[in-house]
């Protein structure tokens, strides 16, 4: 059979348009549609299945099968060929359908005489809402063009299915989403903080009123005009003062590149040439991309697909002239609720009105999370099915610190969070008074309190918080915000800005620490059974020394004439440190011979996260200027516990005798040899854990900016000698955790927690 020409598709679309605009019930129009499709595609059968509650596909209309089977034949998603199409959201074309292992025979349909089958999912908003199928008696080999035609037709059917005339819109909504009862939804923390307000649903879906185009060239020109409008809007964002610097600027640069993606634009262009309007073509490619997103496991690719989704929504708004909710209409205590968001979409809202953001999807490295941190908005991600459970302008609380969302909370819960926000503001005001006060204990022990950072925007908190410096600068975050590896010049510029803004306070740069759950797209990661124990961190950069050399070269140039502190991550054996130091020495000599000014002072240290390194301290300590314990990974490796596994992530307490004893032994060895020791994981930022660390001999802590005040307040109320003596008596106990005993000690001795 000859491939279907684009004109055939346009003719069919025009006929479907007339049927959809005509009179009659939705069922009558659907009956006419399947008849038209069967005739136009030269098929003996055309059937339409619609998804109903309970993940059931019901035969709603057919031309060719027995009419008595309509509304009686049902298949579960995943059952039979129709169920397989729905489950995987992808087309299926078979010359001999009955030979396929998934074929499910339904005698009431009379389909046993039909051999070939072609089916495509009916997709609306990225979700499968039905399946349309054609069948032939002969063993027919369907062409790619015929599949494309049926996919285009399915888009028209999606509008009919979604209208609510065939199946009520609320049929597939979860029961607890209909009953307006208080709910608590858990997720993951994408940005800390607490916000109380009303829900604003981020539903930027544009209603497409015209599907069939009269002139494809006119539609292609409209598409080009819309793309130009988006690029102009991005340029206007770049002109904003608050976006002059920072990694969120790199995010927008990457986003701008998507507007020129040739493959994506080519697919839209092809859809327009089949007879769709520009809006319908964008929507078709958009829905197809979203449906296939569920089949992709790579986290970076999933997050980049979110950016394409953002771009598609924006294109639809430009093409239709529907700009959505105006800034002036946004309630002044808005909490945005969305399945996902692209980085540009967040800039559409007035940040002064935003109190939080809740996403059904998301990871800490997705672009919108990076932008939200720049805007200091609490964000909870992976809040499962939250869109099904909330109504516009519902009362809502976003607890970013504890990764939970309260929907329609009772007044007492809402008031408690409002009070907590007020108390937090009071505490912050109290901590601000301690900004310039030294962190010295009641018995005269000085404790260094440094700040963790990973973005330029974090530097604004360095001086406001009163931190002594940056104890950990995570250099990988700028790498993750870009679509390609930053060159030496770009890195040099960034590191110089960091040192400039630190204004003389020390900055410890941790060399590139990626792998595991921190994926770089340009390094082609491969599947690993245990990524936390796999090819990550120093193992990657030692295997790819050019990447390390470029980063070290940039750091040396940025710190010319100033002090430079470099720390290598996840060192498991001293030989790895020796290799890294050798590469650093090569770069120092390279810069010297090139006549470039060198840092005034160079200090080299290592992270201690792998327990094996603690058994090599005799060889390690003479080779480093400082050591920083990463308590998060150390606990993971010490207890052999996967931090990402919710069944065991809380099974072991970092205040267990084994963990505290381990850190105490390292602290005493470092003290005896004069090597500076710090702790930079989550333990350092919690007052009770920090109290135990100081009692164990740690004299330097590095933590998030909001934790600086609480930790300094605790330090200034602590008697180290008394606490250390008490801790020594506890370490030989077989207890699972020392937490309760230490908490009681703190309360009895007036330690501020």
Token pair listed for 166: 């065939």
Is the CB of residue 51 less than 8 Å from the CB of residue 143? no
- How far apart are the C-alpha atoms of 252 and 343, rounded to whole Å? 7
Tokens 């793309």, residue located = 227
* Residues facing 160 on adjacent strands: none
Tokens 């459970």, residue located = 389
How far is C-alpha 577 from the geometric centre of its chain's CA atoms? 32
Count the alpha carbons within 13 Å of 481 in the hemisphere toward its beta carbon.
26
- How far apart are the C-alpha atoms of 334 and 352, rounded to whole Å? 9
Length of the chain: 753
Q: Rounded to 10 degrees, what is the CA torsion of 584, 586, 587, 592?
A: 130
CA distances in angstroms from 419 to 72, 130, 165, 412, listed in the order given:
56, 48, 47, 10
CB within 8 Å of 446: residues ≥ 6 apart: 438, 439, 440, 699
Is the CB of residue 367 less than 8 Å from the CB of residue 278? no
- How far apart are the C-alpha atoms of 459 and 497, rounded to whole Å? 10
CA distances in angstroms from 353 to 336, 411, 678, listed in the order given:
10, 22, 39
- How far apart are the C-alpha atoms of 94 and 398, rounded to whole Å? 49
Beta pairing, strands 45-52 & 127-136: antiparallel
- How far apart are the C-alpha atoms of 573 and 571, rounded to whole Å? 6
- How far apart are the C-alpha atoms of 281 and 270, rounded to whole Å? 8
Question: What strand order describes the sheet that includes 74-76?
Answer: 74-76, 56-63, 45-52, 127-136, 116-124, 92-94
- How far apart are the C-alpha atoms of 243 and 374, rounded to whole Å? 9
Q: Is 623 exposed, middle or buried (0-12, 13-18, 19+ CB in 10 A)?
A: middle
- How far apart are the C-alpha atoms of 712 and 672, rounded to whole Å? 26
Sign of the alpha-carbon dihedral angle for 681, 683, 687, 691: negative
* Residues facing 601 on adjacent strands: 563
Report, in this order, helix, strand and coil percent for the chain, each rounded to 5. 50, 15, 35
Give the closest residue to 313 by CA, choosing from 169, 162, 208.
Answer: 208
Alpha helices in 481-532 (DSSP H): 488-502
State the catalytic residues: 367, 680
636 in helix, strand or coil?
helix
């Amino acid at each position: 059979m000859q491939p279907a020409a684009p004109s055939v598709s346009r003719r069919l679309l025009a006929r479907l348009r007339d049927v959809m605009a005509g009179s009659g019930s939705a069922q009558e129009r659907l009956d006419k549609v399947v008849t038209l499709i069967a005739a136009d595609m030269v098929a003996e059968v055309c059937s339409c299945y619609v998804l109903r509650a309970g993940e059931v596909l019901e035969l709603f209309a057919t031309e060719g099968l027995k009419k008595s089977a309509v509304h009686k034949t049902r298949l579960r998603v995943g059952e039979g060929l129709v169920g397989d199409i729905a489950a995987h959201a992808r087309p299926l074309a078979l010359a001999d359908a009955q030979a396929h292992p998934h074929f499910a025979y339904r005698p009431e349909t009379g389909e046993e005489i039909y051999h070939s089958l072609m089916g495509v999912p009916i997709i609306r908003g990225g979700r499968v809402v039905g399946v349309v199928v054609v069948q032939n008696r002969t063993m027919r080999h369907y062409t790619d063009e015929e599949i494309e035609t049926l996919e285009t037709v399915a888009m028209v059917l999606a509008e009919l299915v979604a209208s609510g005339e065939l199946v009520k819109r609320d049929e597939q909504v979860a029961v607890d989403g209909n009953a307006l009862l208080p709910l608590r939804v858990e997720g993951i923390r994408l940005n800390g903080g607490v916000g109380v307000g009303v829900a604003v649903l981020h539903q930027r879906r544009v209603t497409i009123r015209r599907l069939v185009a009269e002139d494809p060239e006119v539609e292609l020109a409209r598409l080009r005009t819309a793309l130009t409008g988006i690029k102009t809007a991005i340029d206007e964002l770049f002109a904003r003062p608050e976006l002059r610097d920072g990694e969120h600027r790199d995010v927008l640069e990457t986003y701008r590149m998507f507007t020129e993606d040739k493959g994506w634009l080519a697919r839209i262009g092809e859809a327009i040439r089949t007879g769709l309007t520009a809006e319908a073509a964008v929507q078709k490619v958009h829905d197809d991309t979203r449906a296939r997103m569920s089949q992709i496991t790579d986290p970076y690719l999933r997050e980049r697909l979110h950016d394409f989704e953002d771009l598609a929504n924006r294109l639809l708004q430009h093409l239709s002239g529907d700009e959505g909710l105006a800034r002036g209409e946004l309630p002044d205590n808005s909490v945005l609720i969305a399945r996902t968001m692209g980085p540009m979409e967040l800039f559409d809202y007035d940040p002064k009105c935003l109190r939080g953001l809740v996403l059904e999807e998301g990871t800490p490295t997705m672009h919108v999370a990076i932008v939200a941190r720049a805007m200091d908005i609490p964000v909870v991600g992976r809040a499962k099915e939250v869109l099904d459970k909330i109504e516009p302008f519902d009362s809502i609380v976003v607890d970013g610190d504890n990764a939970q969302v309260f929907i329609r909370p009772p007044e007492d819960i809402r008031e408690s969070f409002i009070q907590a926000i007020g108390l937090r503001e009071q505490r912050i005001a109290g901590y601000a008074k301690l900004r310039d006060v030294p962190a010295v204990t009641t018995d005269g022990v000085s404790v260094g309190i440094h700040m963790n950072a990973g973005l330029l925007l974090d530097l604004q908190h360095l001086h406001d918080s009163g931190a002594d410096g940056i104890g950990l600068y995570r250099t990988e975050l700028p790498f993750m915000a870009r679509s390609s590896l930053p060159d030496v010049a770009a890195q040099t510029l960034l590191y110089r800005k960091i040192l400039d803004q630190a204004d003389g306070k020390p900055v410890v740069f941790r060399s590139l620490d990626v792998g595991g759950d921190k994926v770089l797209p340009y390094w082609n990661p491969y599947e690993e059974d245990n990524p936390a124990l796999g090819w990550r961190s120093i193992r990657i950069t030692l295997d790819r020394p050019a990447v390390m050399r470029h980063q070290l070269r940039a750091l040396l140039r940025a710190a010319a004439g100033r002090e430079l502190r470099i720390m290598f991550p996840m060192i498991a054996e001293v030989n790895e440190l020796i290799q890294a130091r050798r590469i650093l020495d090569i770069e120092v000599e390279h810069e010297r011979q090139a006549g470039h000014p060198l840092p005034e002072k160079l200090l080299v240290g290592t992270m201690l996260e792998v327990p094996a390194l603690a058994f090599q301290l005799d060889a390690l300590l003479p080779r480093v200027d400082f050591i920083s314990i990463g308590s998060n990974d150390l606990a993971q490796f010490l207890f052999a516990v996967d931090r990402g596994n919710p069944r065991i992530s809380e099974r072991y307490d970092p205040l267990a005798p084994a963990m505290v004893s381990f850190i105490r032994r390292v602290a005493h060895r470092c003290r005896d040899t004069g090597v500076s020791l710090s702790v930079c994981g989550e333990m350092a930022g919690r007052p009770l854990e920090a109290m135990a660390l100081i009692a164990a001999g740690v004299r330097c802590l590095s933590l998030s900016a909001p934790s600086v005040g609480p930790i300094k307040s605790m330090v200034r109320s602590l008697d180290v000698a008394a606490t250390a003596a008490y801790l020594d008596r506890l370490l030989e106990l077989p207890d699972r955790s020392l937490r309760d005993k230490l908490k009681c000690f703190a309360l009895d001795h007036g330690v501020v927690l």
